Amino acid sequence: MAGVNLYDYQLDAVNRMKNGCILCGGVGSGKSRTGLAYYYIQNGGRVNTKRYVKMHDSPQDLYIITTARKRDTLEWEEEMIPFMMTTDESARMYKHKVVVDSWNNVHKYVGAKDAFFIFDEQRVVGDGQWVKSFLKITKENDWILLSATPGDCWTDYIPVFVANGFYKNRTQFKNEHIVYSRFSKFPKIDRYINTTRLVRLRDRILVDMDFKRPTIQHHETVYVDFDKKQYKDICKTRWNPCKNKPIETASEYCTLLRKVINTDPSRQQEVLDICKARPRVIIFYNFDYELDILMNLPYGNRVEVAQWNGHKHQPIPEGKQWVYLVQYNAGAEGWNCIKTDTIIFYSQNYSYKVMEQAAGRIDRLNTPYTDLWFYHLKSRAGIDLAIGRALNDKKKFNERKFYGV
């Protein structure tokens, strides 16, 4: 049996990893393989050898907590093949338990002890049930986290800091590092203090993969038109023409403006023009009304159209010409595609992290393409420009600030 081989940057990361670390690598850098290699070595295996080196007879039970899509598409099963591991009890080489499950079921494994957990696609932010289960699991087991984008702000690191014993709980972190605004009606962070310590703690647990991509990303902004009169009327009157009532919230205001610009025929025509030039295309979108538009465009009789969203989970088409419609919230992460070199962003998502994850679906180590094409459809309307500025600054778009609250 052939040995397990890693790229130099993956081997370097493995050598720097330790219990409780976050393996941070760009989308497509091979974090799954690197995380498995760390577990494999910790349990007696060796990498970059001509022949496979067995782990010791009773390796730790392995639990992989990932997205539902990665679990259902058996992506982790494929990653485990070179390591001679499987979730199939009848085909196991070792006596240990191997489980791959979704974050929705993480609470089921709170009772595990002396096992090894790989937490994939970082979900431990906030203080919800996933975080509570995570903190209970990490007290009794070895663990690592895998993430392409580990945190937008310092509060995102609280669960990992607590799990590593840097703080007793969330309250201690808040008392030592957060100053809240005195003028806000709800708890709003004004600034962080003692950030030198936070940087030092983050650097202790982050293991960055020095990954140089073999691909070249080409991002093209495609400007489209919009109904300026309707847009200005909503801005001026703050009136909801769909429900015939005053606009009451920032979310309602922004949603209405986005519907005006995202339904313009010029945006739809640009999609058709790109699809005529590119035979296989993934299109990311936000809203159901956008899906309705995209499903009914005249792509051509030979073009197969499939979708992945909260309503349908259809596989990527296999033919020579296809369009795959993916809703950001349902499919920005947890799957890969090396059958195309093209993504269209029909509308922008509020989160730069989501946009980055979405782009990474086709930028993989094993893609046969060198040049990858990303088309960003945007109007010059105020809200589109404001979202674009937030994304360029690697920030999340703030509806309340745009609304003027």
Q: Tens-digit pLDDT profile for the chain (405 aa)? A: 789 999 999 999 999 999 999 999 877 788 999 999 999 999 999 999 999 999 998 999 999 999 888 898 888 999 999 999 999 988 889 989 999 999 999 999 999 999 999 999 767 777 789 999 999 999 999 999 998 777 778 998 999 999 999 999 999 999 999 998 887 777 778 889 999 999 999 999 999 998 787 899 999 999 999 999 999 999 999 999 989 999 999 999 999 999 999 999 999 999 999 999 999 999 999 999 999 999 999 999 999 999 999 899 899 999 999 999 999 998 888 788 999 999 999 999 999 889 988 999 999 878 999 999 999 999 999 999 999 999 998 888 999 899 984
pLDDT of res. 122: 65
Same domain? For 204 and 292 the reply is no
Domain end marker among 208, 233, 253: 208
CB 344 within 8 A of CB 377: yes
Which amino acid is located at 239 in the chain? W
pLDDT of res. 174: 93
Task: Report yes or no on 126 lying in a domain.
Answer: yes
Task: Report yes or no on 1 lying in a domain.
Answer: no
CB 169 within 8 A of CB 144: no
Task: Report yes or no on 141 lying in a domain.
Answer: yes
Same domain? For 194 and 103 the reply is yes
Same domain? For 254 and 166 the reply is no
Q: Of 190, 172, 193, which Cα lies nearest the Cα of 180?
A: 190
pLDDT of res. 57: 87
CB 149 within 8 A of CB 353: yes
Same domain? For 177 and 222 the reply is no
pLDDT of res. 70: 86
- Which residues constitute the domain of residue 249? 216-403
Same domain? For 177 and 244 the reply is no
Q: Is the pTM value of this prediction over 0.75?
A: no
Task: Report yes or no on 68 lying in a domain.
Answer: yes
Same domain? For 152 and 236 the reply is no
Same domain? For 195 and 222 the reply is no
Same domain? For 290 and 366 the reply is yes
pLDDT of res. 69: 82
Residue with tokens 């979310």: 251
**CATH code of 284's domain:** 3.40.50.300
**CATH code of 56's domain:** 3.40.50.10810
Domain count, the chain: 2
Same domain? For 340 and 381 the reply is yes
Count CB atoms within 10 A of the CB of residue 1. Answer: 10
CB 216 within 8 A of CB 372: yes
Backbone φ, ψ for residue 305 (5° rounding): -120, 125
3-state secondary structure of 207: strand
Backbone φ, ψ for residue 242 (5° rounding): -75, -40
Same domain? For 121 and 95 the reply is yes
Domain end marker among 184, 208, 232: 208
Domain end marker among 174, 208, 242: 208
Burial 68-86 (b: 16+ CB within 10 A, else e): ebbbebebbbebbebbbbb
Same domain? For 235 and 358 the reply is yes
Task: Report yes or no on 3 lying in a domain.
Answer: no
Same domain? For 299 and 187 the reply is no
Interstrand relation of 342-345 and 304-308 (parallel, antiparallel or unpaired): unpaired
Task: Report yes or no on 2 lying in a domain.
Answer: no
